[in-house]
A = this chain, B = another copy of it.
């Protein structure tokens, strides 16, 4: 089952192109049928080739998290970018934003009168070249304002000369077992209330944007006009364990080699893989069964993870695969994985087709 088409050293990040294309097509079809615009979050993949597949399937543009990501995707020809982040913009950042705005339609997030004022001051005479959307806190309690405060932020932005073109939220509290449906209700309520408050204040033609991967397919479209899922292109162990995808929908795995066996008294037999936190990332939600999953042995458990070792407890009664065996690991949170490598290997029908550069790797600012 594993990728042997080329002599690529492990650990290697491998993308199955057929599954990737199927995932992209399915989300595009869903958005089309619901009549909402799709603006995938590119922080998950950071790869221009994947962005082009998303746009070819009908995406209206991309979402990114940082100015650096916007720079990469604007340079790659993406014509519409939304930095879904409440940036604090000083002079250097303003100059970078304006350079991006010379290549693409650019919108950024704000969540306070202070950040709107700071942005407008930093942009100076160019204040009209970058639009803003106000971020709402729909229950994740990270950045964003409550609906009752959205009007004040939008009016401050308007007074400072910024064009307010929408509201957005990230219902991150959908990432827990059984939580997605309730998070979608929270998301709808916050966006509906926020959009209504702005409508009352005279704002028109607002984009109403939401949607994480766990929640996107539950979104009704009654309120939302845009979805921003990211993980859906690859899926990961979290989506698998949340029952938001099937194992056959997982497009990205980390090909790894068994380097050691652990056989100690009082503990299940385990093998050690050469994939660790420096390629998988070390996110582990409280509800996760381990530090990732093995695609071809769902009953195995990754019970410990260090930088270059995964300790995998093997199902009782199953023989441990010998050293040198290659196994495919599904990361818990796939957004961390492409960011840890310079390139990903691309496979179709089990045959190595080449590699893609992770062009926006490390673009944290």
Interface residues of A (CB under 8 A from B): 7, 9-12, 43, 65-67, 85-88, 90, 92-93, 111-112, 114-115, 118, 137, 141-144, 146, 172, 257-262, 264, 267, 272, 274, 277-279, 281-283, 304, 306-309, 311, 322-324, 335-336, 339-342, 362, 364-365
Contacts and interface: CB of A to CB of B under 8 A. Distances in A.
A257 B323 CA distance: 46
Contacts of A336: 277-278, 282, 307
Contacts of A43: 307-308
Contact of A9 (B323, B324, B365): B365
A258 B308 contact: no
A86 B277 contact: no
Nearest to A68: B9
A305 to B, nearest CB: 9
Contacts of A282: 281-283, 336
Contact of A264 (B111, B141, B309, B322): B141
A112 B323 contact: yes
Contacts of A264: 137, 141, 146
A36 to B, nearest CB: 24
Contacts of A311: 141-142
A315 B92 CA distance: 32
Nearest to A170: B306
Given A88-B257, A282-B283, A282-B336, A142 B306 contact: yes
A141 B340 CA distance: 26
Nearest to A11: B364
A282 B364 CA distance: 15
B340 A362 contact: yes
A351 B268 CA distance: 53
Nearest to A258: B88
A311 to B, nearest CB: 6
A323 B118 contact: yes
B9 A93 contact: yes
A264 B10 CA distance: 46
B86 A364 contact: no
Contacts of A114: 322-324
B340 A308 contact: no
A272 B143 contact: yes
A339 B141 contact: no
B341 A340 contact: no
A272 B88 CA distance: 11
Given A142-B304, A142-B306, A277-B283, A324 B11 contact: no
A111 B274 contact: no
A146 B85 CA distance: 51
20 contacts: A7-B92, A9-B67, A85-B308, A86-B272, A88-B324, A112-B260, A112-B261, A118-B324, A141-B262, A142-B272, A142-B304, A142-B309, A143-B260, A278-B339, A278-B362, A281-B282, A282-B282, A308-B364, A340-B364, A341-B362
A111 B87 CA distance: 49
Contacts of A364: 11, 278-279, 308, 340-341
